[in-house]
């Protein structure tokens, strides 16, 4: 294909970045294409942590194809790193390769980079530019940017309901309100997250596995369970497979010792009311390099997360059906005034099978 503009070059780099959707965490999903005279002569995307970044992959691809990159233009979906982390700096490699121009979608918010990569390239005589398709690049790594800037993950709360807002009957029956297509789509959203969070109520009622299934992903999200009193049944399905992080408000119990002996980690974060301190949990998950947190919980924990300002985005699947009285999405208290309502804005609406998928973001999600 012929690249006729910076926008086209960056759009292709974003396509390459998306190929790393499920493998790069905790690193961002980055794509790079190298162009000479409108022709793509190398391309790549970031590999799993500790392996090559997108720029290195693109340079290797160009070399394998016998292409000379000297004087060519590289389109990268994030400013090339300029520090030694798990891998050497990509900015050094681009300078040594003799690129003529580097176009970045965004400046890296990582304090270890934050403009230094582009400055190094410019100091080496390479023409640099940034800000091309920045919004699209931001969306692809929204969790990484949230963690770099605020120390916590981007929190996406998923729920599925009938058109009249019921997630289950009063007795808990919920399989299935939405369609197989919506459930498959939900697994894809699970797979892109670094961790999945639920509460002890959901574990007791549904006995979920909370794994990403039907998605070609080599990594499973870490499973996080909010369980203030450590009431979890040791035989719960969620405790099988990879170890879980269980977040409690009590410490020193026999149950804690048993869970630790089984390989799970118990994180004790009590608040003044004897419950789990949810804002503190978000910061702890950020410290543990969780970029995107996917929540699938019951109405009470959903409401607590919303009340504490811990949720950035709702992922809602609505089925074209009416259920009548039943369990709701959020057990929020009644408002005294309509003016006190929590405001969101629609970010995306799509039909998935017979159902609607709505992405809505809270008004506190200001420009990053």
**Residues known to be catalytic:** 55
Tokens of 90: 């990509």
Ranges of H-type helices in the chain: 6-18, 54-64, 90-97, 116-123, 134-140, 142-150, 180-192, 200-206, 254-261, 278-287, 299-307
Q: Are 194 and 290 in contact (CB under 8 A)?
A: yes
Q: What share of the chain is helix, strand, coil (3-state, %, to 5)?
A: 30, 25, 45
Torsion of CA 68, 71, 74, 78, to 10 degrees: 130
Strand pairing category for 31-36 and 154-162: unpaired
CB-CB neighbours of 321 under 10 Å:
14
Tokens of 285: 């998950």
Name beta bridge partners: 225: 198, 246
Phi, psi of 185 (to 5 degrees): -65, -40
Tokens of 159: 């729920």
């Amino acid at each position: 294909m012929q690249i006729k503009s910076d926008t086209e070059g960056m759009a292709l780099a974003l396509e390459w970045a998306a190929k790393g959707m499920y493998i790069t965490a905790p690193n961002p999903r980055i794509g790079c294409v190298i162009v000479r005279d409108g022709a793509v002569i190398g391309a790549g995307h970031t590999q799993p942590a500790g392996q090559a970044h997108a720029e290195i992959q693109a340079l290797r691809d160009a070399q394998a194809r016998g292409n000379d990159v000297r004087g060519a233009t590289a389109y990268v979906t994030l400013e090339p790193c300029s520090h030694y982390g798990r891998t050497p700096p990509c900015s050094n490699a681009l300078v040594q390769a003799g690129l003529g121009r580097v176009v970045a979608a965004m400046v890296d918010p990582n304090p270890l980079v934050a403009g230094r990569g582009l400055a190094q390239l410019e100091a080496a005589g390479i023409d640099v530019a940034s800000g091309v398709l920045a919004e699209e690049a931001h969306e692809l790594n929204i969790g990484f940017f949230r963690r770099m800037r605020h120390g916590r993950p981007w929190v996406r709360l998923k729920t599925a309901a009938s058109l009249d807002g019921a997630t289950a009957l009063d007795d808990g029956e919920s399989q299935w309100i939405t369609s197989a297509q919506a459930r498959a789509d939900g697994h894809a959203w699970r797979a892109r997250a670094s961790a999945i969070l639920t509460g002890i109520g959901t574990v007791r009622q549904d006995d979920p596995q909370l794994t990403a299934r039907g998605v070609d992903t080599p990594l499973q999200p870490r499973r996080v369970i909010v369980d203030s009193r450590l009431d979890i049944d040791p035989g719960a399905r969620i405790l099988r497979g990879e170890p879980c992080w269980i977040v409690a408000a009590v410490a020193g119990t026999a149950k804690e010792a048993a869970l630790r002996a089984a390989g799970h980690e118990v994180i004790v974060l009590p608040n003044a009311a004897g419950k789990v301190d949810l804002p503190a949990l978000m910061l702890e998950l950020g410290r543990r390099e969780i970029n995107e947190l996917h929540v699938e919980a019951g109405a009470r924990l959903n409401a607590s997360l919303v009340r504490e300002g811990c949720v950035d985005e709702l992922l809602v699947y609505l089925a074209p059906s009416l259920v009548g009285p039943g369990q709701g999405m959020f057990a929020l208290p009644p408002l005294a005034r309509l003016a006190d309502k929590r405001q969101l804005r629609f970010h995306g609406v799509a039909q998935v099978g017979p159902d609607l998928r709505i992405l809505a973001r809270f008004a506190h999600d200001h420009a990053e």
